[in-house]
Amino acid sequence: MSDQAMNLLTAVLSSLALVAAVVSAAAAKQSAKYAADAGAALEKQHKLNELTQLVSTASQVVILADQVPRVAIHLVAMIRSNAIAVGGKGGSIELRLTEGVESRLGRVKELSERAKPFLSGSLAMLSGPVEEVVVRRMDMQALLYEAQGLRDQMIREHEQAFEQLMQWRSSNVTGRP
């Protein structure tokens, strides 16, 4: 092969290599764009999932807070029944116990009020970073745990007060202390 043919072949091969490099660069750029789009879509989905959990937890707080007043009413009635049974109606123990129930009821109402703004699941929250939604969801979870604890405490106190009343009635019926 002559030098001229060899130079021509080298030039053609170099041109083909250059075309292949340009095509590869374009494919890499497109691949990077698809990866970025996929990452953005994944982050948006993560935010939506966190927002859904936030709204769900806020709903649970509000629902629980709506149930607590019924528990409180029964507990106060049981406290008053016990006070009447032992002759302490209107006394300081009854007052202290009733105020404790009212205080916890007020706290549950506060928790509910803090949860209500999150019930709408505002899409405006999606404009911020996902970490902000995660932090708010975790805060809401803490409110839920506190509300559950207060409700459960009232239920336990109601059960204890009922047992005390039953023991008092039993001892007065049978004449045993």
Domain of residue 127, residue span: 39-174
Q: Is residue 14 part of a domain?
A: no
- Note the pTM of the prediction, 2 decimals: 0.73
Question: Is residue 127 situated within a structural domain?
Answer: yes
Residues 107, 108, 109: CA angle, nearest 5 degrees: 90
Q: Is 129 domain-assigned?
A: yes
**For residue 32, is it within any domain?**
no
Q: Is residue 11 included in any domain, yes or no?
A: no
Return the pLDDT at 34.
Answer: 83
Domain count, the chain: 1
Q: Is residue 5 part of a domain?
A: no
In a domain, 10, yes or no: no
DSSP 14-58: HHHHHHHHHHHHHHHHHHHHHHHHHHHHHHHHHHHHHHHHHHHHH
Residue 147, pLDDT > 80, answer yes
List the one residue out of 103, 163, 127 whose CA is nearest residue 51.
Answer: 127
In a domain, residue 9? The reply is: no
* Segment 39-81, tens digit of pLDDT: 888 888 888 898 889 999 999 999 999 999 999 999 999 898 8
- Weakest mean pLDDT among 25-34, 70-79, 82-91, 167-176: 167-176
Confidence of residue 176 (pLDDT cuts 50, 70, 90): low
Query: Which residues touch 68 (CB under 8 Å, ≥6 apart)?
Result: 105, 108, 147, 150, 151, 154
